[in-house]
Amino acid sequence: MPILTNGSPQEDWIDPDDVPRPVLIYGFVADKFVGVELPSHVHVKSQLILVQRGVLRCEVAGGLWIVPPQSAIWIPGGALHSVWMSGALEGYNAFIDPSVSHCLPQRCCAVSVSPLLRELMRRGARLPSLYEEGGANSRLLAVLLDEVAASKIEDLHLIMPADPKLRQLAEAMMAAPADRSTLEVWAKRACLSERTLARRIVEETGMSFGRWRQQLAVMLAIQWLAAGASLQTVAADLGYESVPSFVTMFRKTLGTSPGRYMAERYGEG
């Protein structure tokens, strides 16, 4: 497969469901995506998107995933999803037929990427779309499937409310993450009582208002840190008065400090 770019000819963009192979992998690279969004769509094949450089955002079945460098998102076949990309981006996309994905996750999730899985994706992207089956190529891709199955699931998921009024509020919070207004203030903006907003957030997301906002902050922090932002910048952009208060929130949410979290997952080139 050729490495796809935002300038690739239309004939290079093959519908993966039309390729009669159990696994199809292609690479993608672009120096600049300007707020590109792939609207909601469905594949028969499951999908693994690995991000090498840049960050993409994916929404699947009411959940939002942010995929920073050296991570991947798994999207089961048949799941309605949309993808948003901005800035420089490089990575790999694997499409896996249901006949060989029964041991793989049955729900959408973010997964950590081992050096072996990353190299297998690179190797697989160099295969022709109609590679010969039954030999070395098939064995290579069988190892890839084993490595996906063994990958650790990451907590980079944010449940999005379905109610239009709550969805509008959630998007406003995402657009202005430094706004640390209280539940009472956000309730007034949504034309709801404080008690009603608190109850409906729990009903829609399974989390309290404060827990939901913390999860959003952690996801955005990982995205910005992976792009090279400093702890000071991230803390300020999330509305925290000091770096220690931000680090305390991050540690309470993920059980480790931002520095250690990023080193463990994204320290390898």
* Placement of tokens 């009669």 in the chain: 20
What are 203-252's pLDDT values in tens digits?
999 999 999 999 999 988 988 887 789 999 999 999 999 999 999 999 99
Contact 89, 29 (CB under 8 A): yes
Is residue 123 scored above 80 in pLDDT? Answer: yes
| pLDDT category of residue 86 using cuts at 50, 70 and 90 | low
Output the pLDDT for position 154. Answer: 79
Q: Answer whether residue 2 shows pLDDT above 80.
A: no
**What is the C-alpha separation between 261 and 152, in angstroms, rounded?**
14
213, two tokens:
């906002």
pLDDT of residue 70: 74
Is residue 269 over pLDDT 50? no
User: What does the pLDDT look like over 8-66, one tens digit per residue?
Assistant: 555 666 788 999 999 999 888 877 655 556 788 899 999 999 988 777 788 887 788 87
* Among 93, 73, 77, CA closest to 24: 93
Q: What is the mean pLDDT of residues 66-90?
A: 83
**pLDDT at position 28:** 84
* Average pLDDT taken over every residue of the chain: 86
Give the integer Cα–Cα distance in Å for 236 and 67.
22
In 42-80, which ranges are E strands? 46-53, 56-60, 63-67, 71-75
What's the whole-model pTM score? 0.79
